[in-house]
Structure 1
């Protein structure tokens, strides 16, 4: 076990994996715990967040969980209250929840648009709304929001709602960094590139490519390093930004993409 986050309490949304293997939130929660943090893990899927918690406890870490739809204000408020009851403070907020709906404005329904924006953007507003006052009273804290290179670059197919939502995450994060910096609160954003996680296998991204095998092959070939990244690449970047090693870093958009944005315009 490391000590980079010793005695810190980390609030992690989307801490369960959508399918077998390691999703970004699951890996991040475990990585935080491995660095000494006490983790409060949320997910909409009770079994998924229980699996993450089981790994942390088996490794000797400390974790509490909650089942929560982070697009719902009352559920987020209740989860934050539960975290404070369990640990008495929140030092790090890690916003990891996100979905993707490929399609252009003609193809996406209004319901799809609203649902994606609620999950990808409103959830971050809600967690910040309830956790920023806590961090302010404590004299500081760190927020790490997961965005995407889709906020700045084309993925090669239309996913307009996803790209727009992640652009909103970037802008939201910069505003928090600027206006809460004087209160000792840092806010940074991670922009993952093409990542080989359960989300792309279980989600509807596969439909764009025709098959899982074709998807993996084509996405690997796009990356200068020769392969997609994985959840641990995002998790360890998150640990760094959450830790005191990054105490003078705020308002950045850290690209974790194997170099793909060097050639994708």
Structure 2
């Protein structure tokens, strides 16, 4: 899985997914561009006696992703599940967001998913089966309170990319689905978003985000992980080309 680290301590989506899969017996190949970000992930997996190997890669690079997939096959002999989890937002609509930032947002959030699928799908076809879970965002289906046109466009693209892959590879017994997390309380809130959007006031940002959620609490990375685990599991064997929204009802509201 990609994006298996986190920008800070706690349950980022990627760290939680790695831990949750390992706790169910999966052998995890955890990839992040920052090796240090994987330290806590490995520690969490070790707590449940899970199996994990780590790899450092920039998943916007075709060569790096190709090497990543080969390394996973070398380590475990096969690739049964791919979780594409890399992502990050930049503020700004089309006028404010400069062209370089736009390109970076598309590469980081969408190209990374395309490359993961590109190099894993042939391996899954050889095996005769596989499951892909791509992590999008409610920003890809709704306005979520901030103009972030590059991020929103890329996350919307992930949803349609997943549907195309699902239909094209269904006859190969490969499933592809998307998890759409909402405004979760992950380490990203304290580490980056509070400074960008609330002058560093974490409590103010959390209150603002909670006000959009019908349920009286905010989810975290484990909620994302539970949805990803289900979609990757045999229990979801007849589910492909669809999405699970994990947002406490936020995207169902009209206000």
Specify if TM > 0.5: yes
- For residue 226 of structure 2, the aligned residue among 206, 231, 236 is 236
The equivalent of 1:18 in structure 2 is 7
- Once the two structures are TM-superposed, the CA of residue 206 in structure 1 deviates from its matched residue by 4.1
Q: How many equivalent pairs are there?
A: 254
- Once the two structures are TM-superposed, the CA of residue 54 in structure 1 deviates from its matched residue by 2.7
The equivalent of 1:209 in structure 2 is 198
- Once the two structures are TM-superposed, the CA of residue 149 in structure 1 deviates from its matched residue by 1.0
- Once the two structures are TM-superposed, the CA of residue 204 in structure 1 deviates from its matched residue by 3.9
- Once the two structures are TM-superposed, the CA of residue 256 in structure 1 deviates from its matched residue by 0.5
Q: Which ranges of structure 2 fall in alignment gaps of 5 or more residues?
A: none
Q: Indicate the SS of the match to 1:222.
A: coil
State how far apart, in whole Å, the 1-side matches of 2:39 and 2:208 are: 34
The equivalent of 1:245 in structure 2 is 235
- Once the two structures are TM-superposed, the CA of residue 63 in structure 1 deviates from its matched residue by 0.9
Matched, 1:165 2:176: no
In the TM superposition, what are the counterparts of 1:252-263 in structure 2 within 5 Å? 252-263=242-253
- Once the two structures are TM-superposed, the CA of residue 71 in structure 1 deviates from its matched residue by 0.5
For normalisation by structure 2, the TM-score amounts to 0.96
Asked if structure 1 preserves the Cα contact closer than 8 Å seen for 2:83 and 2:132, the reply is yes
Question: Which segment is superposed worse, 59-68 or 24-33?
Answer: 59-68
Matched, 1:70 2:59: yes
- For residue 85 of structure 1, the aligned residue among 67, 74, 97 is 74
Question: Which segment is superposed worse, 207-216 or 60-69?
Answer: 207-216
In the TM superposition, what are the counterparts of 1:1-265 in structure 2 within 5 Å? 12-204=1-193, 206-210=195-199, 211-264=201-254
User: What is the Cα-based RMSD across aligned positions, in Å?
Assistant: 1.2
Q: Which ranges of structure 1 fall in alignment gaps of 5 or more residues?
A: 1-11
Asked if structure 2 preserves the Cα contact closer than 8 Å seen for 1:219 and 1:227, the reply is no
- Once the two structures are TM-superposed, the CA of residue 130 in structure 1 deviates from its matched residue by 0.7
Asked if structure 2 preserves the Cα contact closer than 8 Å seen for 1:43 and 1:68, the reply is yes
In the TM superposition, what whole-angstrom CA distance separates every residue of 1:15-40 from its partner, at most 9, and x where no partner exists?
00111111000000000000010000
In the TM superposition, what whole-angstrom CA distance separates every residue of 1:162-220 from its partner, at most 9, and x where no partner exists?
11001100110000001001110000001111101011222246422332111001111
